[in-house]
Amino acid sequence: MPLLIPKPIHFGPFLVTSQVFHITPLSFALVNLKPLLPGHILVSPIRRVPRLSELNHAEVTDLFMTVQRVSRMVERIFNASALNIAIQDGKDAGQSIPHVHCHIIPRHKSDLDHKGGGDKIYEMLDGEEGNVGKHFWERESGGFPKPDADEDRKPRSEEEMLREAEWFAEEMIKDTVSRQSSNNSSS
């Protein structure tokens, strides 16, 4: 089933409509160009502001209810046992696109032992591997990686991201249906 996203969605300066798998009145969730681990997604407010402090009450509430909802879904479908949830709130904290975004990364026991341990996720997040802004710029410039790019992780194709976004969107609907039916049966 193709996704019905009612209007173009921008993440910073980038058009990301085909990567969006969930949308609310004030927030959206998108799949990543280069996920650090399977299921690594981003949640943003629709309004493009760089800092968390600039969001109003309704936007903060909607953003984190969305974070909770989509994080349950990725944890479930990737059979994960934990999640890293992180916001680089401003450039000096590692933010690469001036638009509030919350990283959600499903985790498994010992998943990064081959990289040197679980805390490597943060090095990856702040290093070249997690530079979301650079990945988008590379796509805009025709996909030519900059010379210092990590060579082992290629940006994913539009087609691949669209398939994942559709999968996640369907799984979000399953969560909603199962919550509604458990609410009905308990009432």
Asked if 125 touches a copy of itself (CB under 8 A), the answer is: yes
Backbone angles phi, psi at 29, to 5 degrees: -120, 140
| 132 Cβ contact partners less than 8 Å away, ≥ 6 residues apart | 32, 33, 42, 96, 97, 101
In the complex, the smallest distance separating the C-beta of residue 142 from a copy of itself, rounded to whole angstroms, is 28
Per-residue CA distances from 64 to 70, 106, 158 (Å): 10, 17, 27
Q: Applying CB under 8 A, which of residues 3, 48, 78, 118 lies at the interface with a copy of itself?
A: 118
Pick from 121, 161, 165, 172 the residue near a copy of itself by CB under 8 A.
Answer: 121
The DSSP secondary-structure symbol of 117 reads: S
Question: Which tokens in the block code for residue 184?
Answer: 């009905």
Binding positions for a copy of itself, 127-166, rule CB under 8 A: 127
Crossing angle of the two packed helices 158-186 and 57-77, in degrees rounded to 10: 100
Kindly tell me which of 3 and 60 has the beta carbon lying closer to a copy of itself: 60
Q: Let me know if 57 is a catalytic residue.
A: no
Residue 95 to residue 105: CA distance in whole angstroms: 16
Residue 84, interface with a copy of itself (CB under 8 A)? yes
Alpha-carbon separation of residue 164 from 25, 41, 128, 151 (angstroms): 22, 11, 23, 23
Does 103 carry a binding-site annotation?
Answer: yes
Q: Does 113 bind a copy of itself (CB under 8 A)?
A: no
Give yes or no for residue 52 binding a copy of itself (CB under 8 A).
yes
Catalytic residues: 101
Q: Which residues sit in the known binding site for substrate?
A: 32, 88, 103
The residues binding a copy of itself (CB under 8 A) are 52-53, 55, 57, 60-61, 63-65, 67-68, 71-72, 75, 80-95, 105, 107-109, 111, 118-119, 121-123, 125-127
